[in-house]
Copies of this chain bind each other. A is one copy, B any other.
Amino acid sequence: MSIVVMKFGGTSVADADNIRAAARRAIRTQNKGHRVVMVVSAMGKTTDKLEALAYEVSRGKQPPKREWDQLMVTGEQVTISLMAMALEGLGASAISFTAAQIGMVTDERHTKARIKRIAADRIHEQLDAGKIVIIAGFQGVTEAGHATTLGRGGSNVTLVAIAAAIDADVCENYTDVDGVYTTDPRLVPTARKIKTISYDEMLELASLGANVLHNRAVEFAKKYNVPIHVRSSLNNRKGTMIVPKTESMERIAVSGAALKDKIARISLKRVPDRPGVAARIFHKMATHNVVVDDIIQTISPHKTAVIAFTVDLVDLPEARNVCDDLARSLKCQVMYEDHMAKVSVVGVGMRIHTGVAERMFAALAKAKINIENITTSEIKISCLVNQSQGVKALRAVHDVFELGGKRRATKPKKKKTRRKKK
């Protein structure tokens, strides 16, 4: 008997009807002979409402993180018990567990805790008794019994962690989209659902703005080798399987393309080219909580360097303060460009296929899009472009790699050139 862990996000449990639909789906899965564990999020806008209340009672002060978590975990607790009632109402046998009850122990870092261990025995015990086990996503408990939450994408982290702990055969992540697409279908109408994608590709796509599954969950899944099936709670169609890399995947150079907008580029010019300068710059940024994305350093004449990097547009004012200071003390120039966008292609096949970069650049050139920066990883190529040309650039690269049409293996060409990132 295989074990299936099914996770239902906020929109999939938004009201009583949705909860009952999810319950029926779990029962169908159980009726097929599987053992079923459900991981559920807070209902629809519950978390938003709790947040609003928290700020209202705190009157402008930052609520203490311990109490913030104590409040937030109630959202999922409401859903688990309602889900158990729905299942029992439909004739199934069910039991719900909070993180504290299931022994989902985390460290003490409130609002972004990391899971340390899960008492898998308690889950197996209930599965052995024929029950559908429902577990509150997003939450944990410290050794001392304080409530914690797992941060963004936390429910998916729970999904994967539970699956790993009980050695589940598959994770099913039910959401309001059909699966992972070659790119955002709202921006590129020809975008196509991907049947199978590797953890690494998914990691790159998630960090590029594909909001289906948070990176922490994918990293966890990769670490424990848990396949994730991302699918819609509104239909029975197969979604996208996120799995370890396979050989057949590598026959395709590019699996998906993504656009990230609202980013800013900061360029420090005439930076003294001596050891420790880059470290000093990025240490400063980190202490001011500015998340730095792609970094490029090149050498200019006269033993000076150009160091450029991107930040989220919202972080630009803070980054500007830091960099103005730095420029003064390093006696270098600094340039800020807002309203940039980054278009990227991702594919594990890039490791063995050549010519991917060349093809991407040619497509952008043909569309008359100027490339401001290029960064690459083993399985990704990103180009910084002007924000006004972002969607056009995305469509151009999505098109050139035939992601929207019937998928074809990219013809092998010469090994592509790469610049080193970070």
Task: Name A residues whose Cβ lies closer than 8 Å to a Cβ of B.
Answer: 16, 19-20, 23, 50, 53-54, 56-61, 63-64, 66-68, 70-71, 73-74, 77-78, 80-86, 88-89, 94-96, 98, 100-101, 145-146
Q: Which of B54, B58, B68, B86 contacts A57 (CB 8 A)?
A: B86
Interface of A is mostly: helix
Report the minimal beta-carbon distance from A25 to chain B, rounded to whole angstroms: 14
How many angstroms from the CA of A406 to the CA of B4 in the assembled complex?
A: 73
Q: Which of B54, B94, B101 contacts A82 (CB 8 A)?
A: B54
How many angstroms from the CA of A54 to the CA of B86 in the assembled complex?
A: 8
How many angstroms from the CA of A86 to the CA of B54 in the assembled complex?
A: 8
Q: Which of B57, B60, B95, B98 contacts A66 (CB 8 A)?
A: B95
Chain B residues in 8 Å Cβ range of A57: 16, 19-20, 23, 82-83, 85-86, 89
Q: Which of B19, B60, B64, B100 contacts A145 (CB 8 A)?
A: B100
> Does the CB pair A58–B70 fall under 8 Å?
no
Chain B residues in 8 Å Cβ range of A95: 66-67
Chain B residues in 8 Å Cβ range of A98: 70
How many angstroms from the CA of A81 to the CA of B96 in the assembled complex?
A: 22
Q: Which of B60, B64, B68, B96 contacts A70 (CB 8 A)?
A: B96
Chain B residues in 8 Å Cβ range of A58: 85-86, 88-89
Report the minimal beta-carbon distance from A101 to chain B, rounded to whole angstroms: 5
Nearest to A57 among chain B residues (CB) is: B86
Q: Which of B16, B70, B146 contacts A53 (CB 8 A)?
A: B16
How many angstroms from the CA of A50 to the CA of B82 in the assembled complex?
A: 9
Nearest to A76 among chain B residues (CB) is: B74
Q: Which of B59, B89, B101 contacts A63 (CB 8 A)?
A: B89
Given contacts A63-B85, A63-B89, A84-B64, contact A50 B70 (CB under 8 A): no
Given contacts A53-B78, A60-B89, 6 further A-B contacts (CB under 8 A): A57-B82, A67-B84, A67-B85, A67-B94, A71-B82, A100-B100
Chain B residues in 8 Å Cβ range of A60: 89
9 contacts between A and B (CB under 8 A): A54-B81, A60-B89, A63-B85, A63-B89, A67-B88, A68-B81, A70-B80, A71-B81, A74-B74
Report the minimal beta-carbon distance from A103 to chain B, rounded to whole angstroms: 9
Given contacts A59-B20, A101-B145, contact A67 B81 (CB under 8 A): yes
> Does the CB pair B88–A64 fall under 8 Å?
yes
Report the minimal beta-carbon distance from A76 to chain B, rounded to whole angstroms: 9
Nearest to A91 among chain B residues (CB) is: B61
How many angstroms from the CA of A85 to the CA of B69 in the assembled complex?
A: 11
How many angstroms from the CA of A53 to the CA of B88 in the assembled complex?
A: 15
Nearest to A78 among chain B residues (CB) is: B74
How many angstroms from the CA of A245 to the CA of B96 in the assembled complex?
A: 47
How many angstroms from the CA of A207 to the CA of B367 in the assembled complex?
A: 83
Chain B residues in 8 Å Cβ range of A71: 77-78, 81-82, 85
How many angstroms from the CA of A331 to the CA of B85 in the assembled complex?
A: 46
Chain B residues in 8 Å Cβ range of A19: 57
Give the 8 A-B CB pairs with smallest separation, nearest first. A71-B81, A16-B56, A70-B81, A58-B89, A74-B74, A57-B86, A61-B89, A63-B85
Report the minimal beta-carbon distance from A393 to chain B, rounded to whole angstroms: 45
